[in-house]
Amino acid sequence: MAETETEAPIIEAGLVSQWLSQNGFDHEFLGPNHVGVEMIKVDRDYLIPLATALYAYGFNYLRCQCAYDMGPGEDLVSTYHLAKVQNNVEQLEEVCVKVFVPRSDPKVPSVYWIWKAADFQERESYDMYGIVYEGHPNLKRILMPEDWVGWPLRKDYISPDFHELQDAY
C-alpha cells in the first residue's frame, strides 16, 4: 500500500498579525484558538513594544492575563487576552498574546504600566508559577502565604506534607 502524505492546511495570518508584520513587529502567528481568537507568540524582549503598539491600535482592555506550564522541563507561558472595547460594536475584536519562557529563567516584563488590570493577575501568575514580572510595582504572593516554598501549579511541583483540617458539621 502506498502511504499518502497529508499536508497541514495553510492558515492565513489574522488581521492583527498582518498589521504587526506590516509595522515591523517580530512575532509568530499561532493560528486561531477554539473560538476563533487570533493567537500570536512574541519573545519576551519584544513584549512591551508589541503590547504598546496593540494598545495604540485600539486593544485598550486586558480581559485576562494568566499563565500555564507546558510540562516538567518545558516552558512556562504567560498569556494575555486583549480586546478592543468600543461603542456600538457588534463583534468584539480580540487577540491572544503568548510569551514562552524557560523555567530556568522565568522572567517577563510587566504590562502593568500599559493595562492596570494586569496588577493582581500578574501577581497570581507569579504566585502559582514563579514567573517574575519585571517592573511590576508590587510583585508578591497574593494567594499563598508569603513564606510558601515553591510554585504550586507547576507540573513538577512536589507538595509538602500537608494535612488539611476539616470542620465537622
Residue extents of the structural domains in the chain: 13-143
What pLDDT is recorded for position 21?
Answer: 92
Taking residues 98-112, report their average pLDDT: 97
Q: Which residue has the cell 498582518?
A: 18
Taking residues 43-61, report their average pLDDT: 97
What pLDDT is recorded for position 40?
Answer: 97
Helices (DSSP H) in 23-165: which residue ranges? 47-57, 118-129
- The Cα–Cα gap between 145 and 28 comes to 37
Give the CA radius of gyration of the chain: 19
Helices (DSSP H) in the chain: which residue ranges? 15-22, 47-57, 118-129
Residue 109 pLDDT greater than 90, yes or no: yes
Q: Which residue has the cell 495553510?
A: 10
Taking residues 36-62, report their average pLDDT: 96
What pLDDT is recorded for position 168?
Answer: 57
| Residues 122-168: tens digit of each pLDDT | 999 999 999 999 999 999 999 999 999 999 999 988 877 765 665 55
CATH class, domain 13-143, is alpha beta
- Find out whether 48 and 111 touch, Cβ atoms under 8 Å: yes
